[in-house]
Structure 1
Amino acid sequence: MEPAKLLDILGNENRRKIIQLLANRPCYVSEISGRLGVGPKAIINHLSLLEQAGLIECSVDEQRRKYFNIANNMRLEVSVSPYAYTVSLQDISFEKGRKGGGQERKGSAESVPEVNGEIQGDAPAAAGKKEVPSRPEPLAVFLKLSGRLRELKTRHAELARMQQQLQADYTRLMDSCLDSIEGVAKNPVECEILFELLKNETTAAALCYNLRLHPSIINANLIDLAERGFIQYAIRNNQQYWKIREKGEEKV
């Protein structure tokens, strides 16, 4: 799904609340309607849209009642700064841990890795007797999994702090680059071209579209900047992609 489409879908408050409910456990239409205080007809319309988008799915229980649950695992990121606006969507593959009416989960004690390097359970069999593998102690298994979850939460918080710092550093560096551009550009068009290429390499046609300038003006300034050693191009898919020349690269 296109990230912009997903943003449109999640722009509705009731659809966001439905996602929040289903993130806790699968629900029936009547449950969602009661929790949100929204009529069943409107809830069905929201669910239909979310299902079409692949965000949720429905199943039928033994009483032939339809319930809904989260169908996908994804991460949507929006970054807004004075110099950039990006939206990215990543699908994250995983094995679903819920089935049926939302209560059965994978990962029974038998499938959990060893605790402290060995299987926990009853005392070893007496010498000379064949040892029978024992089941892990439920408490030890639970505590181990809980500890892993805390570690992941800590790492997630650290990653968020790193992303905040990176965005702050990016903004400060772009400020410095703009100051530098004003000192080397011959005219406002060169300033705009260099600024666009700082963000990403692109084609002359894209520069014409973004800057609303005639191709002859863009091409003349690109050639001049290239001759002075500021930019260069590479051929990909039979197109010229212009970029800022990296230090040490030869002029093309």
Structure 2
Amino acid sequence: MDPTKLLDILGNENRRKIIQLLANRPCYVSEISSRLGVGPKAIISHLGLLEQAGLIECSVDEQRRKYFNIANNMRLEVSVSPYAYTVTLHDVPFDRENKEEDPVGEETPQGEEPSAFFLKLNGRLKELKKRQEELAQMQQQLQAEYTEAMNRCLDSIEEIARNPVECELLFELLKDETTLASLCYNLRLHPSIVNANLIDLTKRGFIEYGIKNNQYYWKIREIGVENE
């Protein structure tokens, strides 16, 4: 699913509360309605959107009552910085049948007390939580370093660019390689102007192009080890 559409769906407070409830245990419509203080009709509408997005799924119990639960294991990330805005969605597969990488299996090992096994599982959870926190700190540090590097790149661009168009082109290409059409659209400039500046920057050794899917892609020139 498009991560930006998923972000729009989760922008509704009641839908976020539904997800929070279902993250604890499966619930019926009547339970969700009672807990949130929202009418069943509105809850059914919210559930429908969440189900279409693949976030939840429904099942029917022995009394033929429909209940809902979380359907997928995913990670939605939003990154906002002075030079970037990205929304990414990662599916996190969880295979209960494959426990080779999990030192603590799903069932209590034969001969081990359930209480001891429970404490071992708790230790595993704490270990994983600590690793998650370390990863989050590393991501924060990387974003800070990225922002600092971009600041220095922009200072350098002001020194090497001969006109404002070159400044904008180099900034766009710092973010990612792209096509002439995309550059024209983003900068709202005529292709002839953009192309002339691209050619000049190429001759001066700042950018280069490659061909993918029969299209020219422009990017900042990569310096090999032998040229450093």
* Distance in 1 (alpha carbons) for counterparts of 2:133 and 2:226: 42
1:137: which partner in 2?
A: 113
C-alpha RMSD of matched pairs (Å):
1.8
Aligned: 1:172 with 2:171: no
* 1:29 aligned partner: 29
Matched, 1:217 2:193: yes
| Structure 1 equivalent of residue 175 of structure 2 | 199
Query: Aligned partners of 1:96 and 1:248: how far apart in 2?
Result: 45
Per-residue Cα deviation, 1:49-88 (whole angstroms, up to 9, x for no partner)? 1111111011111111111000001000000111000010
> Hey, what does 1:146 align to over in structure 2?
122
Q: Once structures 1 and 2 are overlaid, which stretch shifts more, 139-148 or 205-214?
A: 139-148
Q: How many residue pairs were aligned?
A: 220
Unaligned runs of 5+ in 1: 98-105, 111-133
- Counterparts in 2 of 1:72 and 1:148: CA distance versus 1, 3 Å: same
- d(CA) in 1 for partners of 2:95, 2:203: 55
CA displacement, residues 168-220 of structure 1 (integer Å, 9 cap, x when unaligned): 11111111110000000000000000000001011111100100000000100
Structure 2 portions without partners, runs of 5+ = 98-104
**Which aligned pairs between 1:46-61 and structure 2 lie closer than 5 A?**
46-61=46-61
Given the two structures, how large is their TM-score scaled by the length of structure 1? 0.84
- The structure having more radius of gyration, on CA atoms, is 1
Amino acid corresponding to residue 74 of structure 2 in structure 1? M
How far apart, CA to CA, are the structure 2 residues paired with 1:77 and 1:161?
A: 15
Helix, strand or coil at the partner of 2:94: coil
TM-score, normalised with respect to structure 2: 0.92
The percentage of aligned residue pairs carrying the same residue is 77
Q: How does 1:1-252 map to 2 (within 5 A)?
A: 1-95=1-95, 107-110=106-109, 134-248=110-224
Name the aligned partner's letter for residue 223 of structure 2.
K
Q: Distance in 1 between matches of 2:87 and 2:185?
A: 21
AA paired with 1:79? S
Name the SS of the counterpart of 1:109 in structure 2. Answer: coil
Choose between structure 1 and 2: higher helix proportion: 2
| 1:138 alignment partner AA | P
Q: What is the rounded CA distance, in whole Å, between the counterparts of 1:71 and 1:219 in structure 2?
A: 48
Q: Determine the C-alpha separation between the residues in 2 that align with 1:244 and 1:187.
A: 17
Cα offset for 1:95? 3.7
